[in-house]
Amino acid sequence: MTIIVKKFGGTSVSSVQKLKKIASNLVEEARNNNLLIVLSAMGNSTDKLEALSEKICKAPNPRDYDMLLSSGEQVSVSLLSIILNNMGIDSVSFTGWQAGIQTDSSHMSARITKINVKNIQSEFRKKNVVIVAGFQGIDSKNNITTLGRGGSDTTAVALAAALKAKECQIYTDVDGVYTTDPRVFDKARKLDILTYEEMLEMSGLGSKVLQLRSVEFASKYSVPLRVLHAHNAGTGTLIKKEENKMEGALISGIAFTKDEAEIMIKGVKDQPGVAGKILGPIGDAKIEVDMIVQNVGSDGLADFTFTVSRNTLKKALQVIEKNRKSMMYQSVISKSNIVKVSIVGVGMRSHAGIASKMFKCLAKNKVNIRMISTSEIKISVVIDQKNLEIAVKALHNEFKLDKK
Amino acid sequence: MTIIVKKFGGTSVSSVQKLKKIASNLVEEARNNNLLIVLSAMGNSTDKLEALSEKICKAPNPRDYDMLLSSGEQVSVSLLSIILNNMGIDSVSFTGWQAGIQTDSSHMSARITKINVKNIQSEFRKKNVVIVAGFQGIDSKNNITTLGRGGSDTTAVALAAALKAKECQIYTDVDGVYTTDPRVFDKARKLDILTYEEMLEMSGLGSKVLQLRSVEFASKYSVPLRVLHAHNAGTGTLIKKEENKMEGALISGIAFTKDEAEIMIKGVKDQPGVAGKILGPIGDAKIEVDMIVQNVGSDGLADFTFTVSRNTLKKALQVIEKNRKSMMYQSVISKSNIVKVSIVGVGMRSHAGIASKMFKCLAKNKVNIRMISTSEIKISVVIDQKNLEIAVKALHNEFKLDKK
């Protein structure tokens, strides 16, 4: 029988009513497939457990904190199994350790090291639906661990890889991955198919449908990943490895992030090591830097410009002021009302001229480009925030993303 | 170091605040002893989990139901461990399976078959306080099981036996075991010490402080058991095996049950097998019978009287009516406003005349005795409900229970 892994997040399992809906949607598929269901904790139950811990202290000891949090998924999986069994569909619920999910000992952000699928396969042989608690595992000393944010997606993908499942289906509150955010441009179109790399660039850049880590995992083990709506019908978006026939589309989507801020350090010496002198203290302060541009002037001095997340701007400026001596600059200019817009697509690998097409389009629409950065399958520009909608719409039309 | 096991029930761990109070009371003892703490789930959290399951069906499949319920204790133990670690007292929380508690596969009422104390002992060597989830274990196929009602007491006693602990302390909402119910007679006195057998008779008869099963367990493995108040200071009541020096007291306490009902079947044939013919169908209907008396008349006919729990009276009478033919009786009389009063004490083994002292006392106080039953360390009488207080007070005074 075909093995299919399905993962449902907290919102789609927030009540017994919703769990019943999920269960009745599984009936048909359970007849002809081996189904493995991965669940998050119900609705805000993890938040409630966190709130209990916060009544004690801000930094709970990680081992017992994982023990606390992991109880949430135990509730959702056992309830779904009670529902399925009550409907006459044989099923069994597993905690992370019962499902054979072994991790390292990094509590609160553990990594899966090995999956022993013996128990699951034995249940599949009995034609049972297997329901596994997401987000959790066990380390080599039998301590319960959790995988950190988005951990249930990772659980699902890792199990799909270990079981050589046909597909790993991630049920969310959206119909799939769109060419751009439909709230910004109503001509945004749902994509039927996408490569892992494109999805990584898309989700990293703001289309937050899937956790980056689970996409990386899926890519590493070539697990076909499908994003679907938890309660609406539809085929969602399939994310898989690149194939020849996929070359048709130049650009798959337009991603953007709104929470950017730009810092320009003017008049630094144009000599080796200057970037390190500036970015060293910034990194030490745990501030993440995104785009970096250096312009060399004719006077032997350079302007060094980079972007940071908007909520770290103030801290970054303090670090720069504090390190004025070692950084040796003339002045600092910062700007927070900027955004980053990116076009993403594996097609640009084999097609020249995409970048100039993008820049011409933006120029035609009077959108000034402040910074540019490119990778193999993505071109990003930093522009003024007020131009976000104009830029997204213009590029969407330019690359004909509303048409298949 | 001395090993002490302490068990706290749901009411005493119903909030983070109460858990903090428990934690601060442990500080001193944790320095000089190896402490093992067994916890129930917080307050009504088990009820809440049951309510979720009831939204699905009345008879959930037992395996997943145990999975559901066992999550409750996982929350309380991890929170207490977070509190202790935050206070600088090294501790570790364990689920049932992490603590090595193995059971049979009778879900919802599993019996402990073996305890592998390796993990606990290893934590003791590191001087950690060990906190174990009560009420749960794991079967030979790695399914999570629960021990049924009062299971946390059983967990505590079983761990105390396996670890050869000095004492198993059960924290409750009473100061200890009393000579009788203080709500019925205000001269009731807390007992300092009691034998297992006395406690079994006392708790079986209505002084519901400890679960029968845990007392039996403690008796079997000679684990000294102490009942204490969770938040008030005091030494509670120590329950242990009989020793010579304990012979002083004739009677330890007066127990009673109010929920009794009496059924008299008149005019049955006085011949072998009649008791079985009557009690067979009653037992088949899962009705528990307590006291049984048979009076032989001069006409070859007998009256067969027995007591049942008051809430099963109606059902019992229906069974008797339905089996009129096979039971072959003349008439049935039932009475529900009766109570059972018992005096309990190992002292009566070596002292004659206790029974007649009891009967004389009741007669002097005009309390009519309807039925009598005796065991080695207990004499029970059935009397009219209206005489309950008179009887308890009179017997308490007669045997001087208010004095040590």
DSSP A175: S
Spans of all domains in chain B: 2-172
Residue type, B205: L
* Pairwise CA distance, residues A12 & A19, whole Å: 8
Read off the tokens for B392.
């308890």
Residues of A in contact with B100 (CB under 8 A): none
* Pairwise CA distance, residues A396 & A383, whole Å: 16
Q: Under a CB-based contact definition with an 8 Å cutoff, are residues B346 and B242 in contact?
A: yes
Exposure string over B234-264, b if 16+ CB within 10 A, otherwise e: eebbbbbeeeeebeebbbbbbbbbeebbbbb
Look at A248-257, A309-318, B67-76, B330-339 and tell me which has the smallest mean pLDDT: A248-257
Torsion, CA A220, CA A225, CA A230, CA A236, rounded to 10? 150
Span A22-74, pLDDT tens digits: 999 999 999 999 999 999 999 999 999 999 999 999 999 999 999 999 999 99
Residue of chain A whose Cα is closest to the Cα of B95: A67
| CA proximity to B33, closest of B153, B129, B148 | B129
Q: Under a CB-based contact definition with an 8 Å cutoff, are residues A211 and A149 in contact?
A: yes
Model pLDDT, residue A148: 80
Q: What angle do CA B110, B114, B115 make, to 5 degrees?
A: 110
Read off the tokens for B267.
């005019």
At the top level of CATH, the class of A2-172 is: alpha beta
DSSP A55: T
* Pairwise CA distance, residues A86 & A270, whole Å: 72
Query: Among partner residues B53, B63, B75, which is closest to A79 by beta-carbon distance?
Result: B53
Model pLDDT, residue B205: 56
Give the number of residues written for chain B: 404
| CA proximity to A224, closest of A309, A300, A167, A301 | A167
> Burial, A9: exposed, middle or buried (Cβ in 10 Å; 0-12, 13-18, 19+)?
buried
Q: Under a CB-based contact definition with an 8 Å cutoff, are residues B144 and B70 in contact?
A: yes
Q: Under a CB-based contact definition with an 8 Å cutoff, are residues B58 and B50 in contact?
A: no
Look at A81-90, B61-70, B125-134, B255-264 and tell me which has the smallest mean pLDDT: B255-264
CB contact under 8 A, A78 and B57: no
CB contact under 8 A, A81 and B93: no
Please give chain A's pLDDT, 404 residues, in tens: 899 999 998 889 999 999 999 999 999 999 999 999 999 999 999 999 999 999 999 999 999 999 999 999 999 999 999 999 999 999 999 999 999 999 999 999 999 999 999 999 999 999 999 999 999 999 999 999 999 877 999 999 999 999 999 999 999 888 899 999 888 899 999 999 999 999 988 865 555 677 778 898 899 999 999 999 988 889 999 999 987 655 456 788 999 988 899 999 998 887 777 788 888 899 898 898 888 888 777 777 888 899 999 999 999 999 999 999 888 899 999 999 999 999 998 888 777 788 889 999 999 999 999 888 888 888 999 999 999 999 999 999 999 998 87
pTM of the predicted model over 0.90: no
| CA proximity to B286, closest of B314, B315, B310, B321 | B315
- In sign, the C-alpha dihedral spanning B3, B4, B9, B14 is negative
| CA proximity to B289, closest of B308, B261, B274 | B308
**Disruptive mutation site among A18, A54, A68 for chain B (greatest number of B CBs within 10 Å):** A68
Residue A289: strand pairing partners:
A308
Helix B62-69 / helix B71-86 crossing angle, nearest 10 deg:
20
At residue A74, what are phi and psi to the nearest 5 degrees? -60, -35
Read off the tokens for A289.
């830097």
Model pLDDT, residue B214: 87
Residue of chain B whose Cα is closest to the Cα of A46: B75
CB contact under 8 A, A52 and B79: yes
- Quickly list H helices, A205-249: 212-220
DSSP A78: H
* Pairwise CA distance, residues A24 & A26, whole Å: 5
Exposure string over A262-274, b if 16+ CB within 10 A, otherwise e: bbbbbbbebeeeb
CB contact under 8 A, B86 and A55: no
Q: What is the CB neighbour count within 10 angstroms for residue A139?
A: 19
Residue of chain A whose Cα is closest to the Cα of B20: A56
Model pLDDT, residue B188: 92
The Cα-based distances of A106 to A68, A113, A288, B94, B169 in angstroms read 16, 11, 22, 18, 36
- In sign, the C-alpha dihedral spanning A175, A181, A183, A189 is negative
Model pLDDT, residue A204: 59
Distance from CA of B311 to the nearest CA of A (A): 30
Does residue B229 have a pLDDT over 60?
A: yes
CB contact under 8 A, A85 and B64: yes
Residue type, B170: I
Q: What is the CB neighbour count within 10 angstroms for residue A114?
A: 12
* Pairwise CA distance, residues A79 & A81, whole Å: 5
Read off the tokens for B236.
């509670």
Q: What is the CA radius of gyration of chain B?
A: 24
| CA proximity to B399, closest of B248, B258, B182, B291 | B248
The 3-class secondary structure across chain B, one letter per residue, is CEEEEEEECCHHHCCHHHHHHHHHHHHHHHHHEEEEEEECCCCCHHHHHHHHHHCCCCCCCHHHHHHHHCHHHHHHHHHHHHHHHHCCCCEEEECCCCCCEEECCCCCCCCEEEECCHHHHHHHHCCCEEEEECCEEECCCCCEEECCCCHHHHHHHHHHHHHCCCEEEEEECCCCCECCCCCCCCCCCECCEEEHHHHHHHHHCCCCCCCHHHHHHHHHCCCCEEEEECCCCCCCEEEECCCHHHHHCCCCEEEEEEEEEEEEEEEEECCCCHHHHHHHHHHHCCCCEEEEEEEECCCCEEEEEEEEEHHHHHHHHHHHHHCHHHHCCCEEEEEEEEEEEEEECHHHHCCCCHHHHHHHHHHHCCCCEEEEEEECCEEEEEEEHHHHHHHHHHHHHHCCCCCC
CB contact under 8 A, A60 and B74: no
Residue of chain B whose Cα is closest to the Cα of A55: B16
Torsion, CA B117, CA B118, CA B122, CA B123, rounded to 10? -40
ipTM over 0.85: no
Q: Under a CB-based contact definition with an 8 Å cutoff, are residues A238 and A192 in contact?
A: yes
Per the prediction, chain B carries an average pLDDT of 91
Model pLDDT, residue A277: 86
Residues of B in contact with A64 (CB under 8 A): 78-79, 81-82, 85, 91-93
The strand ranges marked E within A12-163 are 33-39, 91-94, 101-103, 112-115, 129-133, 136-138, 144-146
| CA proximity to A123, closest of A98, A97, A143, A102 | A98
Terminus-to-terminus CA distance in chain A, angstroms? 34
Query: Among partner residues B67, B77, B86, which is closest to A93 by beta-carbon distance?
Result: B67
Query: Among partner residues B64, B70, B91, which is closest to A82 by beta-carbon distance?
Result: B64
